[in-house]
Amino acid sequence: MQNATLKFEQLLDENAIYFPTIDNAALEAKNSGKWSKKEILGHLVDSAIHNLVRFTEINYLEKPYHHRPYSQNDLVNLNQYQTMDSNELIPLWLSLNKQIVRVFKGVDEKALDYQIIMNDQSVIDLKFLMTDYVEHLEYHINQIKA
């Protein structure tokens, strides 16, 4: 987990500086049917909210933990990220993810093996979910930077 946490912190540090430099027109530009860069950032906020709950709940709810999906497109639209001021959106993204870093750093080694039942009934563990979160974050950050 240490490598994933270090990568996570590096992504946050680099992009906390980079994101505010992106021109607002570039952030809001939409390609047919796809999310704008601002909406991708909003999706990362939604992902942070839901995963923060998952990363903490698994420690005190009955095991195995059952993964609850969320409607990504509906949340991006309902939260109106496209019209949200970037000066509010970027700090929100950063703050939520800094809290997740704190959770990563404090996770009990035994908890990393806690089982999670996915919707398709496959089973993963907390360690996989946490490392996958960092990969998901990096994937979308690269979309924003493209």
Separation of alpha carbons 146 and 126, rounded Å: 30
Average pLDDT of span 15-42: 95
H or E segment and range at residue 32? none
Nearest to 15 by CA among 35, 41, 43: 41
Fold of domain 2-28+35-145: Four Helix Bundle (Hemerythrin (Met), subunit A) (1.20.120)
How many other C-beta atoms are found inside a 10 Å radius of the C-beta of residue 95? 11
What's residue 15's pLDDT?
A: 97
Whether the pLDDT of residue 8 is over 90: the answer is yes
Give the confidence band of 22 by pLDDT, cuts at 50, 70, 90. very high
Residues in Cβ contact with 20 at an 8 Å cutoff, skipping those fewer than 6 apart: 86, 87, 90
The pTM for the full model equals: 0.95
Average pLDDT over residues 32-43: 95
Burial of 146: CB neighbours in 10 Å, binned 0-12, 13-18, 19+: exposed
Q: Supply the pLDDT for residue 23.
A: 94
What are the DSSP E strand ranges found in the chain? 65-66, 115-117, 123-125
Where do the structural domains in the chain lie, given as residue ranges? 2-28+35-145
Burial class (CB in 10 A: 0-12, 13-18, 19+), 76: buried
Interval 117-144: pLDDT, tens: 999 999 999 999 999 999 999 999 999 9
